[in-house]
Amino acid sequence: QVQLVESGGGLVQAGGSLRLSCLASGPNFGAYTMGWFRQAPGKDREFVASITYSGSAAYYSDSVKGRFTISRVNVRSTVYLQMNNLKPEDTAVYYCNADSRIWLVPAAGRWPGGDSWGQGTQVTVSS
């Protein structure tokens, strides 16, 4: 099972940008679908974005589409989430996820994520 460590969270004003990183340890990073989820206080964890094992396809929730971009560099075992035009409603703990079931389509509303989770990184957007 892959271990995941997120970084890059912080406090930013509305309209600002942050880039989250998730470093994976363990073999065969390129054999995992990767994704980002988030959980705001008092709410359930929700899907944000995902990217297939090869990086050929990416999926986004409607709430972040056009503002966030997910990418991966397999030789660095790292997945990124570039977040632009941040809004106060983006405030949450962001979690990295890895799923070895690469045959699943990791689309919003269809993909629950895999078994590997990071510890989370806090993103706070002030108005």
> Each residue of 44-76: pLDDT tens digit?
999 999 999 999 999 999 999 999 999 999 999
pLDDT digit string, tens, across residues 77-110: 999 999 999 999 999 999 999 999 999 999 998 9
85: left (phi > 0), else alpha (psi -120 to 50), else beta?
left
Pick from 90, 76, 22, 26: nearest CA to 50: 22
Average pLDDT of the segment spanning 32-42: 97
pLDDT at 88 (0 to 100): 97
Per-residue pLDDT band for 27 (boundaries 50, 70, 90) equals confident
CA 69 – CA 71 distance, rounded (Å): 7
pLDDT at 9 over 90: yes
pLDDT attached to residue 26: 85
Look at residue 1 in the predicted model and tell me its pLDDT: 82
For the cut 90, the answer to whether the pLDDT of residue 38 exceeds it is yes
